[in-house]
Chain A
Amino acid sequence: MENGTFSSDLLAAFRALARQAHRRFGVTIHLLHIVGKRHAYVEGDTQGLPALPPHILPLSARWAVAVYGWETLSQEERADLARLAETLPVERA
C-alpha cells in the first residue's frame, strides 16, 4: 500500500463503520484499494476471519469493501450494510 497516501478521514470513517458492522451485523469488513486487478488490503481486523469467500462491495473504480460473513446476513441486513458502506468518503470518479 502507498505510504501515507490514504486520508485520515477515510481511515477514521472506515474504522467506525467496521466497529458498527461487527456490532450490528457480526461481520468483519476490510477496506480495499483497487489498482488494476489488484485489490490491496488497506484496513480492517485480520483476526478470526471465517474461511469463506469474502463478498466484495464495490464503492468506486478505486475502492471496495470486502465483507467476511456476508452469507450470514439477511437481504435486509445486506442492503443496510451496503448503504452504510456507500457513506465512506472515497473518491467516486
Chain B
Amino acid sequence: MSAVDVQEWQKTRIREDQIARYCAGDDFIPDGEIRHLLAGARPDPGRVREILAKSRAIQTLSLEETAALCAVRDPDLRAEMEEAAAQVKKKVYDNRIVTFAPLYLSNLCVNACAYCGFRRDNPSVSRRHLSVDEVRRETEVLAGTIGHKRLIVVYGEHPSSGIDYMVQTIRVIYGVKTPTRRGWGQIRRVNVNAPPLPVEELKELAEVGVGTYQVFQETYDRAVYARLHPAGTIKSHFRWRLYTMHRALEAGIDDVGLGALFGLSDWRFEVMGLVCHAKELERVFGIGPHTISFPRIEPAVNTPLASSPPSPVSDDEFRLLVTVLRLAVPYTGMILTARENAQVRRAVLPLGCTQTDASSRIGIGGYADAQTGQDERQQFFLGDTRSLDEVVRELAEMGYITSFCTAGYRCGRTGKCIMDLLRSGAEGRFCKLNAVLTFREWLDDFASEETKKAGEKVIQAELAEIREKMPSSYPKLMEYYRRIEDGERDLFF
C-alpha cells in the first residue's frame, strides 16, 4: 500500500456523525469539576468508612467519593481501604484469578503517540503483521503448549490491520484445536485491543465472536492528550476515542474494556476519568465496563518519554490507585499485567485484581519464534517474564485458584445480566465453579509436577467449600469434574 493510500485511508476513519449521536455539547469528562473535587478532598475517617460501606454493597461510587479515597494518606485508613478492596473482589468474583495472554498481531501504525514504541516515526522497530499461518502457529503454542484459553489480541491502527484483517485473524485463532497431554487445547475467548472503530466495523467484530473489546483512552486529561498525540493523526481526536464504547455497545458488543496509561498525567485525574467513563456507560446503556486496565508506562526502544514519563506513578501510588479503582467500580474486572515485575504483582494482586497474564511475549511472532532480539519487535519491555506454570504455582501458594473460564458470553451472562449478577454477588458462584473445572483441565494437560502438587491442594479446598456452601451445585459440578478427569473438555456452568 502506498503512502498516499495510507493517507487517504486515514481521512475516512473518523465519523463525526457517530460522535454527535452521543455528544451534543460537552463530553462526559468534566475537567473543572474533577480538578475541583481533587483539590478540595479532605476525607475524615468517618466519611471514608461510609464510602467503603457503599463499595461493599457493590455500588458505583460518585466522583466526590472517589476523590476522597484518592486523598487518603493515613496508613491505618489505607489498610482499611485495602481490606475492603479485597472483600469486594471476593464478594463479586470469589477466590479466582483469571489468566490470559497477549498476542500482538501487528505493529504497523499510522499514529505518532510520543510514549509508544510502535509510533510511526520510530525507526528502531521492525514492522510487520503476522500472516494467517503465523497467527495459527502462535495460537498453537499458546493453546497447545502453554495452555491459555483466553487471549487479548492487539492490533496497530493501520490499513493493513483493518477490520478485514482483524476478522480473518480472529477466525483463525478460534479455529485452532490442538491435542494436549490428556485432552485438547483451544482458545475459547478472544478479547480485542484495537483502535476505535465505527459502528459498521464493530458489528463485523461482534459477528466474529469477540469477547471483550478494549480501547484505552490513554489519558483523560485532554490538554496532555493533545500534547502527546500530534495534530493530524487519527489518534489526536480525543472524542472519537472517548465515545468508542458507546459505538461498541450500540453495535452489540456488550463486554467493553476501559483503561488509562498511568504516567502520562496525574494518576488521580485518570482514576476520576475512568470512573466518569464507567458511570457514563451505566447511565446511557445500563451496562458498565466489563474490565478496567491500569498499565503504567514502561520503557520502550528509542522512546525517551517512556523512560521519563511526565507524571511517574510510584509503587505506593500504584497500590492506592488500584485500591481506589476496585472500590469505585466494585463490579468490574481489574486487569494487572506483566508490565509490572513479580514483586509488584505479588503485592498488588490481592487489592482486588481479577485477571493477570503470564508466559507473555509481546514481540510480533514472539511465541512461535522465541529467539533473542525481541526488543525491536515489541511495544515496551515486560517487567515479569515468568511462565504460566510458575505464576499458577505462585497463585496457588497465595491461596488463589487460577481460572481459564470463558463461560459467560457463551450462555448469555453478558451485558445487563452479568451486571446484575455481579452486583448481587451471584456471579461469583459461577466464577467459583468454572474456576475448578478449567483449572482441572489445565493441571491435567499442562502443569509441571511441582505446580500440579500446589494446584491439587487449592482444588481440593475449593471442592470442600463448594460441597459445604453450594450443596445444590455440587452433584453437577462433580459430574463435570469426573468427565474432565476422563479427558472431556470445555464443560461449564
Contact = CB atoms under 8 A, between A and B. Distances in A.
Nearest to A40: B414
Contacts of A41: 254, 412-418
A54 interface: yes
Contacts of A50: 472-473
Contact of A1 (B252, B409, B473): B252
Nearest to B207: A36
A38 B174 CA distance: 13
Contacts of A3: 249-250, 285
B492 interface: yes
A50 B249 CA distance: 28
Contacts of A93: none
Contact of B252 (A35, A54, A71): A35
B326 interface: no
A75 interface: no
B414 A46 contact: no
Nearest to B410: A39
Interface size class of A (residues with CB under 8 A): 20 to 34
B473 A52 contact: yes
Interface string A30-74: 101101111111001011011111101000000010100001000
Interface secondary structure of B, over-half rule? helix
B165 interface: no
Interface in B206-251: 206-211, 249-251
A2 interface: yes
Contacts of B209: 35-38
Nearest to A41: B417
Give the interface centre of B414, B418, B420 by most chain A CB atoms within 10 Å: B414
Contacts of A52: 472-473, 476, 493
Given A40-B414, A51-B430, A2 B252 contact: yes
Contacts of B254: 1, 40-41
B473 A51 contact: yes
Contacts of B420: 46-47
Contacts of B492: 53
Contacts of A66: 411-412
A68 to B, nearest CB: 10
Nearest to B284: A3
Contacts of B249: 1, 3
Interface stretch (B256-264, B347-355, B421-429): B421-429
Contacts of A35: 206-207, 209, 252
Interface residues of B, number: 36
B48 interface: no
B464 interface: no
B172 interface: no
B433 interface: yes
A37 B174 contact: yes
A40 B412 contact: yes
Nearest to A48: B426
B470 interface: yes
Contacts of A56: 411
Interface in B447-493: 470, 472-473, 476, 492-493
A56 B424 CA distance: 23
A36 B206 contact: yes
A49 B421 contact: yes
Contacts of B252: 1-2, 33, 35, 40
Given A1-B252, A71-B476, A36 B208 contact: yes
Nearest to B206: A35
B282 to A, nearest CB: 15
A37 B173 CA distance: 13
Contact of A2 (B211, B250, B433): B250
A47 to B, nearest CB: 7
Contacts of B426: 49, 51
B412 to A, nearest CB: 4
B417 A44 contact: yes
Contacts of B206: 35-36, 38
Interface string B308-319: 000000000000
Contact of A54 (B210, B285, B412): B412
Given A35-B209, A37-B174, A53-B492, A46 B417 contact: yes
Contacts of B207: 35-36
Contacts of A36: 206-210
Contact of B412 (A2, A30, A47, A51): A30
9 contacts: A1-B252, A3-B285, A30-B417, A36-B210, A41-B254, A41-B413, A47-B420, A49-B426, A52-B493
Given A38-B409, A40-B415, 8 more contacts: A1-B252, A32-B411, A37-B174, A38-B210, A41-B254, A41-B418, A51-B473, A51-B493
